[in-house]
Structure 1
């Protein structure tokens, strides 16, 4: 149950992060906001590491044993922050969040297929239903907006 709560909190924080970063992006620019986001993240992580102290045991030797693709998470993270900084000001937050969610579901299905050699029909049906729901809701919103 704790992991479910933690996942929900993670989703809430992701959406808040999108809103905060896109607001910063509107004020100082998308690339600059992405840089500020990661700089503040670096400072925050550094402070946490200082407080954790010697509990972290990581050496350069550990890094040299890791495959290079392990380090691409930072590149992916920057891409996520940059894209949300570009998208959120142009698309309502609820749609941005749902579209990111659809992307996550599709990626999850593809990764499950690659790693587990299986595809869940229920997951595919769920992704299709969510996509149809978003398309339907955006059409309803457009009709309401155009009448006003």
Structure 2
């Protein structure tokens, strides 16, 4: 099975497009897993690449780098934990996170996701990865490729 990495300027009209931070080790690992599990379900775009342009997707650069963003095939945009939920749904595992969309779990899971997103590079360093707290490092792993 191959994992396909799409150039940041490509749009995909029939899959869920996930804009992820390839410098975040945990984010990268999760996206690689999504792509291995359901390669035709997700169009993964690494926002840490130098040629990434958020305007391609009609999104604000700072917002995209703050939280995970997804674009549904119908053009709808998901942000943060909603993007995680949608990614799990499109790979056939939505039931695993569906409870996080319900009260009282939603505010808690959304808050936890925002804390993770704000500290994702530092958290990645706890798992033996380089400390990227300056937001300038590159990790040794590569984004999904074909």
TM-score (norm. length: structure 1): 0.28
Q: Which protein has the bigger strand share?
A: 2
Q: Which protein has the bigger helix share?
A: 1
TM-score (norm. length: structure 2): 0.28
Q: Which has the higher contact order (CA 8 A, sep 6+)?
A: 2
